[in-house]
Structure 1
C-alpha cells in the first residue's frame, strides 16, 4: 500500500505505509475518525458483556471445588495418552472428566484429571479402572494401584484468590488515578481508566465466549496486563502533553490535530513494544503449554496474549480520541480551533486571490479593546505623512471646517 506525497522539487513521490509509520508525520487520521473506533470497540464490548452474561465463565476446579486424580504418563504397555485416561474415566463413571491434561517434563510427566466432587466409592471405581486398563508404573518401576493418587480440592481457595485479586485491582486503579491526575491532568486520568476498563472487559469476555478455563493463574495474569496497557497509554499521553504545551497561544494546529500527531509519532513505538512483549508470551504459550504440557503456563499465557493486544488497541484507538473529546468541551480550545480555521481561511483566500474573510465576532471585552485601539488618531501637526482614515474622524455634531472661514 502506498500514497503520494509532495517532494521538495515540486514533484510527487509514493510513500509506503511503513515509511509513514516510521516518519510519524500525522499521515494516519486516527483522531479524526474516532467515531468509527467508538462504534467498533463499543460493539466488541457489548458482545463480550453479552458473552459473560449469557454463557458465563468456565470456572476451574479451584473455584468450584472437585476431585483431582494424577496418573503416571508411563504404563506397562508404554506411554499413556490423555485420550486413554479420558476413555477409562468414562468407562468407570459413564461421563467424561472436565479436564485431562499432561503436566510435567521428561520422566516426571503425569496426567492430571480434574472433575466434579466424587464420592469415595466413585474415586475407588475410577482408580481401579485406570489401573486395570493402563497399568501405570509406580516409583519402583512396576505396575501399582498406588500409582494413581487422588485429592479433594476446595472451592474456597479460588474464592480467596479472587477476593485478593479484586482488592489489588481496586488499589491499583486508585493509585493510577491519583498518579495520572497529578502527573498529567484530570481528563487524561479519566480516558486512561476507561481504556483500562475496556481491556479488562474484552479479555474477560473473550474467555467467556471461547470457553477457556478460568483458574487462579488467569486472575493473576489479568492483573499483569493492566500495567502493560497503562504503560502504552502513558507513553502516548506524554507525547500529547508535549505537543499541546502552549497550544492556546498558537494558531498552527488545533488540539485534535496535535493529539493525532502525537499518536502517529508514538505509533511505531507502540507496535514495536507490543511485538517484543508478545514474543515471549507466545513462546510461553507454545513451549510451556503445548510442548511441555504445563496447564498453568497455558492459562497465564492466554490471558496475557489477549490482554496485551487489547491494551495496544485501546491506547491507540480509544484513550487519545476520548481525551480529545473531553478537552474540546472546554470553550478555550473551541476558540483556539476557530482561530486556526480563520487563519487557514485567510491564507487560502490570499493564495487564491480572493477577498480575505472577516475575522469571527469577538467577545464583548475583546470588542471594547479593539474599538479603543481603532479610534486612536494621529496628532495635528505631525509631519510624518498623511493621517489615515481613522484620524479624520470628527465628533458627532461638529463641522469638519472652521466656522466663518471660506476655503480657497
Structure 2
C-alpha cells in the first residue's frame, strides 16, 4: 500500500458495528413513535387557519379563550401566547365573518394589535404534503444516479442509506418531542441531505484515490484503507459541520419564530449527518466491498 502503515488511525470500521446497532435502535423507536403519534403538522400541511397576532402588551390564554367562546370558534383551537406575539391555530377554516369578528374583539384588548391570517384548505394541504415527499424522494434518486455514475453502485447504496438515516432520525425526533412540522422543516431536511452528501462524497473520493495506489490482499487491508481515508478527511467534515452548526444554533436561539423550526431541524440534522458520514456511510461501503467475490482489492 502506498500510504505509511506506521501512521495510526482510529478503527472506524470496528466501531461502526456498535453504531449500526445504535442507529437501528433509534430507527425502531422512531418508527414506533411515528406509528403511534405521527407528526405535529403545522397549518401548512393540514386544513385550517393560523392567526398570528403581534401585540404591544402580553395577552394571556385566559383573555383569549372567552373571545373564542363568544364567537363560537373555541373548539379545536390551540393558543400559543408570547410576550409580544400570539398564535391561534384553528382546525377549521375561518370564514370572513369569524375572521373579522376575531380581529375586532382582540383589538378591544390591544388597540395596536396587527394580524396575519394563513388559511389552507384540505386539498392544498394534501398537495403540499405530497409534494414535500416527492421532493425528498426525487433528491435521493438524483443522488443515487450521480454517485453510481461518478463512483460505483456500492458507494451509491452506502450514501443513500446514510442520507435516509439522517432524514428519518430528524423526522423521528420531531415526532417524539411533538415539534411543529412546517414547510421550512422540509427545506431543512433537503439542506441536511445536501450537507451530508457533500461530506460523504469527500470521504468516498479519498477512498477511491487510495484504492488506485493500493495493493489489497485481504479484508483487513481494505478496512485499514477505509480507516485511513476517514482519518485523512475527518477534520474537514467536523469543521464543515461545526461552522454550520454554530450558525444554525444561534439562529435557533436568537432568530425569529418563523425560522425556529428550520434552525432546530438543521441543528439536529447536522449532528446526525456528521455521525452518519463517519460511522455509517464509509463502513457500510466496506461491508459491501468486502463481499465482492475474488476482487476485494481492485479499485473502482
Q: TM-score, structure 2 length as denominator?
A: 0.84
Aligned match for 2:269, one of 304, 307, 310: 307
> Cα distance, 1:230 vs. partner?
0.5
Question: After the TM superposition, which of the residue ranges 152-161 and 57-66 deviates more from structure 2?
Answer: 152-161
Give secondary structure in 2 for the equivalent of 1:100.
Answer: strand
Aligned match for 1:241, one of 202, 208, 211: 208
1:87 matched to 2:87: no
* Aligned pairs for 1:221-260 within 5 A: 221-248=188-215, 254-260=221-227
CA contact (8 A) 1:62 1:155 kept: no
Unaligned runs of 5+ in 2: 1-5
> Cα distance, 1:198 vs. partner?
0.5
Once residues 262 and 68 of structure 1 are traced to their aligned partners in structure 2, the CA distance between those partners, rounded to angstroms, is 50
* Aligned pairs for 1:137-216 within 5 A: 137=112, 152-216=119-183
Once residues 164 and 116 of structure 2 are traced to their aligned partners in structure 1, the CA distance between those partners, rounded to angstroms, is 42
Aligned match for 1:64, one of 30, 42, 46: 46
Flag the 1:88–1:257 CA change in 2: closer, same or farther, 3 A.
same
Number of residue pairs matched by the alignment: 287
> Cα distance, 1:35 vs. partner?
1.6
Which is helix-richer, 1 or 2? 2
1:41 matched to 2:23: yes
Instruction: Tell me how large the CA RMSD over aligned residues is.
Output: 3.0
CA contact (8 A) 1:90 1:96 kept: no
Flag the 1:251–1:135 CA change in 2: closer, same or farther, 3 A.
closer
* Aligned pairs for 1:5-404 within 5 A: 25-74=7-56, 80-81=57-58, 84-92=59-67, 93=69, 97-100=77-80, 111-117=86-92, 126-127=102-103, 129-132=105-108, 134-137=109-112, 152-248=119-215, 254-288=221-255, 294-333=256-295
Once residues 16 and 81 of structure 2 are traced to their aligned partners in structure 1, the CA distance between those partners, rounded to angstroms, is 44
Flag the 1:187–1:251 CA change in 2: closer, same or farther, 3 A.
closer
> Cα distance, 1:111 vs. partner?
3.5
Unaligned runs of 5+ in 1: 1-23, 75-79, 104-108, 139-146, 289-293, 337-408
Give secondary structure in 2 for the equivalent of 1:67.
Answer: strand
Question: Which residue of structure 2 lines up, in the alignment, with residue 379 of structure 1?
Answer: none
CA contact (8 A) 2:51 2:117 kept: yes
Q: Deviations over 1:140-194 (max 9, x none)?
A: xxxxxxx667564324334333333333323322221121112111101110011
Q: TM-score, structure 1 length as denominator?
A: 0.63
Question: Which residue of structure 2 lines up, in the alignment, with residue 143 of structure 1?
Answer: none
Higher relative contact order (CA 8 A, sep 6+): 2
CA contact (8 A) 2:93 2:120 kept: no
